[in-house]
Amino acid sequence: MKSKRANWLFLVIILVHIAVVFLLSMAGALIDFDIIANFLLSEGIIIGPAILFLLPMRGRFNEALGFHKIKISTFFMIILFTFLVMPLVTVLNALSMFFTDNAIASMQDDIVGVSFVVMWFLIGIYGPFCEEFVFRGVLYRGYKTSGKIIGAVLLSSLSFGLMHMNLNQALYAFAIGIFLAMLVEAAGSLWASVFCHMIFNSIQVCMMFLSDWMVDVFYGGELGDMQETLTNESLMAAMSVYLVIAAVTTPIAVCVLAWIVKNENRVEIVRNLHRREGEAGGYLLSIPFIVALVLCLGFISLEFIL
């Protein structure tokens, strides 16, 4: 898939998302969507158009996506990498909360009201696979055909952030997208980012259910909405602590990436990526992406207006 076609795919995903939100808001009480249906639909909106765009490739899906085997030692280093980037993600999450609410925290009551196994599968397995399939598989590899590797990393990550359609998730998802794209190149396989994303989300699910259990056990389930009482001062204090931690763990995460490159025998391949930067001479940005960008920013701005 070429970069222009990738931009068209991103625009279609955003248009479908906005259309579904509009139709559901118009339907109102006629359609009762629980949290399970919401997650299934939201990820279906992403992966559905991507599969349709790949249909002309027929049996060459793996060629288009890059699902290659990785070493077991690489898998364990991916686990370490995931934990090392989490402090930086926490900092960006806290930073966005000065301007908007925590999107995931606002859904926590609905999430913990469902079976842990069900929510772990939806958030920890199904969601990451769909999102990596599209953003580090179809879109990133499509943008790479332009020959602009750094631009491909940034644009696929920006698309990933904007897709969440809220400022809170958009900020830290953009950073996560950069790390995931780098991980794909380090390991030479889309499975690397899939596993990392699954581990990250699974940890978040476990923390939500654990915190809910602790509130029930130690506070009798009457702690209240912590987000409402969270002050700017406490946010700043938490962000400062995690910023110090991130200053240590993030460089180590980069070193882990370098280790994965060597472990997967991709040193020369990664070096050649830099050397061939821009050789293909293609364009990354096109009208479809600009239209999608404007639509996303307009949709995100609604949370401040409404």
Q: Tens of pLDDT along 250-274?
A: 999 999 999 999 999 999 998 888 7
Distance CA 248, CA 242 (A): 10
pLDDT band at 227 (very low <50, low <70, confident <90, very high): very low
Q: What pLDDT shows up at residue 216? A: 72
Q: What is the mean pLDDT of the chain?
A: 88
Place of tokens 């989490």: 86
Place of tokens 């765009």: 53
Q: Tens of pLDDT along 3-42?
A: 889 999 999 999 999 999 888 888 765 666 788 998 999 9
Distance CA 161, CA 158 (A): 5
Residue 305 has pLDDT above 90, yes or no: no
Least confident of 12-26, 53-67, 190-204: 53-67
Residue 223 has pLDDT above 60, yes or no: no
Those residues whose C-beta lies under 8 Å from the C-beta of residue 195, and which sit 6 or more positions away, are 75, 78
Tell me the residue length of the chain: 306
Predicted structure pTM score: 0.91
Q: Tens of pLDDT along 70-115?
A: 999 999 999 999 999 999 999 999 888 888 877 787 788 889 889 9
